[in-house]
Chains A and B, each alone.
Chain A
Amino acid sequence: MDLLSNLQLAFSVIFQPGNLLFCFVGCLIGTLIGVLPGLGPVATISLLLPSTFHITPVSAIIMLAGIYYGAMYGGSITSILVNIPGEAASVITCLDGYQMARQGRAGPALGISAFGSFIAGTLATMMIMLVAPPLANFALKFGPPEYFSLMFLGLTVLTYLASGSMVKALMMACVGIFLGTIGTDNISGIERFTYHSYTLMDGIGLIPVIMGLFGISEVLLNIDQAARQEIYKTRIANLLPSLRDWKDSILPIIRGTFVGFFLGILPGGGAVIASFAAYAVEKKVSKHPEKFGTGAIEGVASPESANNSASQGAFIPLLTLGIPANVVMAILLGALLIHNIKPGPLLIRDHPDLFWGILGSMYIGNIMLLILNVPLIGMWVKILKIPYPILFPLILLFCLIGVYSVNNNIFEVIIMIVFGIIGYLMKKFAYEGAPLILAFVLSPLMENALRQSLIMSHGSFSIFFTRSISLFLIASALFLLLMPLLPWFRKRPKGGDFD
């Protein structure tokens, strides 16, 4: 189909006043819930779903989509300002973003986060426009063996996340793997470590763990350090990224966009994994990896771009194949069904206004979000001036409500509090939370994929090596693992070899 005429269709749909309004509302709501820790797009979209029954499907999806990728903009704000992730996908932004804030560079951090998200979102939309169907078919090629190999690669990348002691990071990863086993095993239907609790039967939720480990623990830590807590350099240097910041960030943004987009398309991938992976990639290719974790702007630019392009990439399987890549897409699929639209390979053909209208709304939505977020940086930065005795109880309140809002389950709130205490102790003793979270997210997926693959191959491990994509991924993982051992990569001290 002619690209230009499609673009024309896209913009003609989005520029209808009703759709523009819904797009704006979606983006606004999305940003707000992204900022609020705990409350996330899933809960919000499912709450707003019934209200979309009486508007046209195009407007409905435009608004709900806006909420989803808008949340990726807002999630970084609290990560940077107070070290508490607003969204699961913003956990990794805490690492460097918060350090930047402590150095008085909250403005540039927020700025690069917003601009990075914008660039990533726009690029992702362009990519969807150009290569959606072939990409979707590529995503279909990922079966259990490919997922296993991908997760295997992901876990090797985990080691790059550690800023401090590698041993401690690996210990935390093991804890994460263990926590991931809790729940009902999908392959056998048997419960593990659930003690017959209905809540634990589905495993420990990601949101309570993240909010506890990063959110509540930070509140506890600050209460602990209240005496010494006088001064962050709240002298805000600039509000916007400098030229130097831009120079440092532009490549990370591009890399983050691609990593995120690719991981977002894969059903089961997602913004969380994308943000971790992008950060790790950045750290690996950086000329000064030791700066990560102390306020390197690349550590903010990359994951924030990744989570935005991942959230938009996730639309591809839904719109081209009718396959939801994550929970939010599943809800959108339900919304489409209710509006009597059958998602599937024929959606683009039968409802071109829907497909191109959504794409058009992504372009406009990203612009709206940039306009929403950048001027507000000055306002957000002032939050740092709120006295902690007022700020932190508020944050605590939002975390508690936010976690409850996910599943209406008070037990999950208790889980969050427990992890809050654990996280506090971890912070005191310098055990990092990021490896734990990555392992916690990846290991159940990996285990499922491993066992499904072995069922498929009747027990033979060769299935991972006879399928080309899987082989490539495993080879990459092994290469990355063995790279430090290879002589070409050993740094030789000036003046010749030793021994």
Chain B
Amino acid sequence: MKIGIPKGKRMSAALVFGALAFSLVGLHSSPSWAAEKPYPNRPINMIVSYAPASGTDLGSKVMADKVSEFLGQPLISVYKPGGGGSLGAAIVAKAKPDGYTVLVGSVTPLVLSPIVKKMDFQLEDFILLGSYSKIPIWLVVKKDARWKTLKDFIEEVKKTPGGFQVGTYGKLTAADFVLELLNKYAGIKQVNVPFKSSGEAMTSLLGGHVEACILSGAAGHLDAGTARILAAAEEERLDGLPDVPTFKELGYPILMPSIYCFAFPKGTPKQIVDRFQDAQNKAIQKYPKEIKEGLRRVEQWAEFRTPQETLKKFREFQTLSRKMAQELGVEAK
């Protein structure tokens, strides 16, 4: 019996086989000829582990806008919110280290989460680039509150039996740690009233439901004159806020580096990492004012550091967090 394709169907058969063969070629994840082109030769996925229009997102957009100019490829925001930032971090930790997946990293998912919860990644699974911005964490009260300075505030808390209720954006977060550290150093009792976000905490503050808040960002209330910052958990006073003291200068060495940097998965080739860092450096060099202003608009401060310094800061925070977690009894084993 002759096995063959019947005459009338030969054309369709040829088409089908042709399509199949063509698709087999296309099944390669990236055509081999493209891999020889220098990095980057296609858009890079920027994983944002928080919701759109969050601080992480807006800051990353400011940087991506300028860095992509020097990379020659756009940085596309991919939102993977979840687990307080850990979902995005976990995804990048496991991603292919080919330089096309980069995390918008910050201390909470990279340092804090693996310590207080069981995660299957840790800080060491990432290659950190130089930091570009920071969001300060500070103690905020209403503008018409009775305390004009941190000293007044602490004095009154000491006198109040049962302590004060202070709103934050969650338990086991950097703000929570600031609260506990302040308790420790000042010998006072503040009770954390956890809200879901800085925004919610701020709303509660304005409504008079809590006396003070420790959070990041004030969404324009500072300028509008409805809120006052008593102290910031920073190394030195912030640009543009000359009247806001730091905890450190007031005698309470509380530093909470809420810095942002890009992070590649471990194993990404050195030349790719260097290329990206180089593009970032050039962007900062060419557009320092635009980047600083852009960041200020979304309530962040520029913090340009080298990768080594950034890693050092993250490590310092890791040590501090481990200590705090042990003291508070919340370390995840």
Q: A143, A187, A322, A331: which contacts B204 (Cβ < 8 A)?
A: A143
Are A267 and B200 in contact, with the CB atoms below 8 A? yes
Are A344 and B83 in contact, with the CB atoms below 8 A? no
Are B196 and A186 in contact, with the CB atoms below 8 A? yes
Q: For the complex, is B210 an interface residue (Cβ under 8 Å from A)?
A: yes
Scan residues 158-185 of chain B and give those whose CB is less than 8 A from a CB of chain A: 162, 165, 170-173, 176
Q: For the complex, is B41 an interface residue (Cβ under 8 Å from A)?
A: no
Given A337-B58, A337-B297, A345-B224 in contact, is the A46-B196 Cβ separation under 8 Å?
Answer: no
CB A136 to nearest CB in B, in angstroms, measures 10
Q: A141, A188, A324, A335: which contacts B207 (Cβ < 8 A)?
A: A141
Q: For the complex, is A234 an interface residue (Cβ under 8 Å from B)?
A: no
CB A35 to nearest CB in B, in angstroms, measures 22
Are B220 and A142 in contact, with the CB atoms below 8 A? no
Are B58 and A324 in contact, with the CB atoms below 8 A? no
Are B54 and A334 in contact, with the CB atoms below 8 A? yes
User: For this complex, into which size category does the number of interface residues on chain A fall?
Assistant: 35 or more
Are A455 and B193 in contact, with the CB atoms below 8 A? yes
Given A50-B61, A344-B226 in contact, is the A338-B207 Cβ separation under 8 Å?
Answer: no
CB A214 to nearest CB in B, in angstroms, measures 24
Given A189-B172, A455-B193, A456-B165 in contact, is the A333-B219 Cβ separation under 8 Å?
Answer: yes
Given A143-B209, A199-B87 in contact, is the A337-B199 Cβ separation under 8 Å?
Answer: no
Q: A202, A323, A332, A340: which contacts B82 (Cβ < 8 A)?
A: A202
Which residue of chain A is the closest to B209 with respect to CB atoms? A143
Are B86 and A144 in contact, with the CB atoms below 8 A? no
Q: For the complex, is A245 an interface residue (Cβ under 8 Å from B)?
A: no
Q: For the complex, is B273 an interface residue (Cβ under 8 Å from A)?
A: no
Query: What is the 8 Å Cβ interface bit string for chain B, positions 19-54, against chain A (1 contact, 0 not)?
Result: 000000000000000000000000000000001111
**A187, A267, A322 pick with most chain B CB within 10 angstroms:** A322
Are A201 and B84 in contact, with the CB atoms below 8 A? yes
Scan residues 326-362 of chain A and give those whose CB is less than 8 A from a CB of chain B: 327, 330-335, 337-338, 340, 342-346
CB B321 to nearest CB in A, in angstroms, measures 13
Contacts of A187 in B (CB 8 A): 171, 194
Q: B58, B87, B196: which contacts A338 (Cβ < 8 A)?
A: B58
Q: For the complex, is A409 an interface residue (Cβ under 8 Å from B)?
A: yes
Contacts of B171 in A (CB 8 A): 186-189
CB A78 to nearest CB in B, in angstroms, measures 25
CB A414 to nearest CB in B, in angstroms, measures 15
Q: For the complex, is A140 an interface residue (Cβ under 8 Å from B)?
A: yes
Which residue of chain A is the closest to B298 with respect to CB atoms? A337
Query: What is the 8 Å Cβ interface bit string for chain B, positions 217-258, against chain A (1 contact, 0 not)?
Result: 001110110100000000000000000000000000000000
Q: For the complex, is A196 an interface residue (Cβ under 8 Å from B)?
A: yes
Known: A184-B84, A202-B84. 11 other contacts (CB 8 A): A143-B207, A330-B53, A331-B53, A334-B53, A334-B298, A338-B297, A338-B298, A342-B224, A408-B78, A455-B191, A456-B165
Can you name 18 A-B pairs with beta carbons within 8 Å?
A46-B52, A50-B77, A140-B207, A144-B209, A187-B171, A187-B194, A189-B173, A198-B90, A199-B87, A201-B87, A202-B82, A202-B83, A267-B203, A331-B53, A338-B58, A338-B61, A342-B219, A344-B219
B residues apposed to A, CB below 8 Å: 51-54, 57-58, 61, 77-84, 86-87, 90, 116-118, 162, 165, 170-173, 176, 191-196, 199-200, 202-204, 206-210, 219-221, 223-224, 226, 297-299, 330
* 10 A-B pairs with least C-beta separation: A334-B53, A143-B209, A46-B52, A189-B172, A342-B220, A344-B220, A189-B171, A201-B83, A198-B87, A344-B224
